């Protein structure tokens, strides 16, 4: 079963929200192997866990988040400010397992810089080893860090994770000045690397050029949605249930 990898045309374009929607729609597991930047000092309330019957406890100040399996009745510890914690607060089905990060880095910066600050080096083999320990019979949504050409170390980039894991790619595009250029450059990189691209998710209002990006890139639209506020389990579930059949078909082809 191929994992689905969520990437996009840049940073801050809604990958985590789209990952939550797709995980909810497919009742898939979630994993963000590289998290660069989180908020260890924020005050977060307990949230109901979407991955077990236990409570999800968000502990500030620890160096590593712990995740329990569906069979465990112990507590799940989540770092505030991580995308994993956000997913835990948004996904409501009882089947999704949220896996811990392979690399949890404090500095909100390019992962290779954040790792250097902690005297670490991001290794693709370690990411692959973590994947090998997961239940591969389950659908899995993987979220990347930033865009595809974000560096992980002095030689490798996020796109190398996609290739190594043989993942099917979902590209997230958000409407802003310059987003056509960034979208088409991302598509060009995907073609150059020979990636398996499921299609686009368009986040925010795209006026008349959503279909132009589809036509110019050659990749289909899976679904589009307006900028979502507020974010909640209810709005994520509603968005998951509103994915058109054609878009769901492209996603199921990945599994």
* Structure token pair of residue 254: 């990945």
Of the given ranges (66-70, 190-194, 220-224), which has the lowest mean pLDDT?
Answer: 66-70
For the question of residue 32 being annotated catalytic, the response is yes
Better-scored residue on pLDDT, 255 or 144: 144
How far apart, in Å, are the Cα atoms of 217 and each of 31, 171, 190? 27, 11, 10
What pLDDT digit, counting tens, does each position of 143-154 carry?
999 999 999 999
Centroid of chain to Cα 15: 6
How far apart (Å, rounded) are the C-alpha atoms in residues 158 and 173? Answer: 17
227: confidence class by pLDDT, cuts 50, 70, 90: confident
Looking at 2, 27, 32, 117, which residue is catalytic? 32
Mean local confidence (pLDDT), 120-131? 97
Mean of the per-residue pLDDT values of the chain: 85
What pLDDT digit, counting tens, does each position of 66-97 carry?
232 222 333 345 676 889 999 999 999 999 99
Radius of gyration of the chain (CA): 17
CB 24 within 8 Å of CB 94: no
Better-scored residue on pLDDT, 44 or 134: 134
């Amino acid at each position: 079963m191929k994992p689905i990898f969520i990437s996009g045309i840049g940073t801050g374009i809604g990958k985590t929200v789209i990952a939550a929607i797709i995980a909810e729609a497919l009742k898939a597991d979630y994993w963000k192997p590289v998290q660069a930047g989180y908020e260890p000092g924020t005050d977060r309330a307990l949230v109901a866990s979407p991955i077990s019957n236990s409570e999800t406890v968000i502990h500030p100040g620890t160096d590593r988040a712990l995740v329990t399996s569906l069979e465990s009745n112990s507590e799940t510890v989540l770092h505030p400010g991580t995308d994993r914690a956000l997913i835990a607060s948004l996904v409501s089905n009882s089947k999704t397992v949220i896996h811990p990060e392979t690399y949890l880095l404090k500095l909100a910066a390019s992962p290779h810089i954040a790792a250097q600050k902690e005297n670490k080096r991001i290794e693709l083999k370690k990411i692959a080893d973590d994947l090998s320990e997961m239940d591969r019979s389950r659908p899995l949504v993987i979220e990347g860090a930033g865009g595809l050409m974000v560096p992980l170390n002095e030689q490798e980039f996020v796109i190398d994770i996609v290739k190594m894991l043989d993942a099917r790619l979902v590209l997230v595009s958000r409407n802003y000045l310059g987003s056509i250029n960034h979208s088409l450059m991302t598509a060009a990189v995907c073609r150059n690397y020979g990636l398996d691209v499921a299609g686009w998710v368009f986040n925010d209002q795209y006026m008349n050029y959503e279909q132009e990006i589809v036509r110019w890139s050659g990749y289909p639209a899976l679904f589009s949605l307006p900028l979502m506020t507020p974010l909640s389990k209810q709005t994520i579930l509603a968005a998951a249930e509103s994915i058109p059949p054609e878009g769901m078909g492209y996603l199921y082809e990945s599994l």
